[in-house]
């Protein structure tokens, strides 16, 4: 049995992992999906939502477990997975990046797509005048995040998405060392139909930060909704993987 801690991405909440949590538990594993500060049922005011607060929330969950966990981050959640892995490498059995932001020491910006230039998400994000938060254009959300999901799942997800996403967590540079983050086992799950973090961007990131294993899914940015069983099967396979 393994313990999975599932970290959601920007604008999302723990709700996005519901199907995967259930499937992992049915397969005999423990699974936890917290709401990050300012998301879901967490009512932290948006002006107080910081990258440090995100990391502290996840670190507390990881530290409470008696055994090392498999820490999974989706999209922006990859930033949290990386920094928590640096802070507590002894508590991380593997760090899994699901179409996630995977940066190196000192970096705070996702790389450009070498093939497309400006991406769909570049055209879909609207920043507030004071810079505190960002929103997504309503007419772009379905195509950006959920284009291969059922109408029912997409409608529910769009209703649950946060209307505002704090900007500060995107701006903080990674503080990483070879001694800590460098020794954590890493797996990247790329989504080949992704329009939010494009396949080109994903490949650049897992090439610059080599992973022990790369798994491909032919899905949008949201396989936890469009292909939860396949995603769960991959996570279970990671739990059984013998890292060299």
How much is the average pLDDT of 89-115?
95
How much is the average pLDDT of 217-226?
98
Looking at residue 244, its pLDDT comes to 56
Looking at residue 157, its pLDDT comes to 97
**Tens digit of each residue's pLDDT (9 = 90 or more) over 127-182:** 999 999 999 999 999 999 999 999 999 999 999 999 999 999 999 999 999 999 99
How much is the average pLDDT of 225-243?
94
Range of the domain at 48: 3-240
Looking at residue 236, its pLDDT comes to 97
**Tens digit of each residue's pLDDT (9 = 90 or more) over 22-36:** 999 999 999 999 999
Looking at residue 134, its pLDDT comes to 95
pLDDT category at 123 given cuts 50, 70, 90 is confident
How much is the average pLDDT of 47-75?
97
What's the residue count for the chain? 244
Whole-prediction pTM value? 0.97
- The average confidence (pLDDT) of the chain is 95
CA of 4: how far to CAs of 25, 55, 163, 196, in Å?
10, 16, 28, 24
Tokens representing 104 are: 């190196």
Query: How wide is the angle at C-alpha 186 spanned by C-alphas 181 and 192, nearest 5°?
Result: 130
- Side-by-side strand order, sheet with 213-217: 30-32, 3-7, 69-74, 92-98, 186-191, 213-217
Strand partners, 121: none
CATH number at residue 210: 3.40.50.1820
Looking at residue 118, its pLDDT comes to 65
How much is the average pLDDT of 70-98?
98
* CA 135 to chain centroid: 18
User: What's the domain count of the chain?
Assistant: 1
């Amino acid at each position: 049995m393994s313990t999975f801690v599932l970290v959601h991405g920007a604008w999302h909440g723990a709700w996005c992992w519901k199907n995967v949590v259930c499937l992992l538990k049915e397969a005999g594993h423990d699974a936890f999906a917290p709401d990050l500060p300012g998301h879901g049922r967490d009512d932290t005011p948006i002006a107080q939502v910081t990258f440090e607060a995100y990391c502290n929330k996840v670190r507390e969950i990881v530290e409470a477990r008696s055994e090392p966990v498999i820490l999974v981050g989706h999209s922006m959640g990859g930033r949290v997975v990386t920094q928590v892995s640096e802070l507590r490498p002894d508590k991380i059995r593997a760090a899994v990046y699901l179409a996630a932001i995977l940066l190196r020491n000192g970096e705070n910006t996702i790389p450009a797509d070498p093939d497309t230039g400006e991406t769909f998400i570049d055209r879909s994000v609207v920043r507030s005048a004071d810079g505190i938060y960002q929103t997504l254009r309503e007419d772009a959300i379905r195509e950006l995040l959920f284009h291969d999901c059922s109408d029912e799942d997409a409608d529910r997800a769009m209703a649950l998405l946060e209307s505002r996403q704090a900007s500060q967590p995107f701006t903080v540079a990674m503080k990483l060392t070879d001694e800590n983050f460098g020794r954590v086992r890493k797996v990247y799950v790329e989504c080949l139909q992704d329009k939010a973090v494009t396949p080109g961007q994903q490949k650049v990131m897992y090439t610059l930060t080599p992973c022990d294993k790369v798994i491909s899914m032919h899905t949008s940015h949201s396989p936890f909704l469009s292909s939860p069983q396949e995603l769960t099967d991959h996570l279970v396979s990671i739990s059984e993987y013998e890292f060299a």
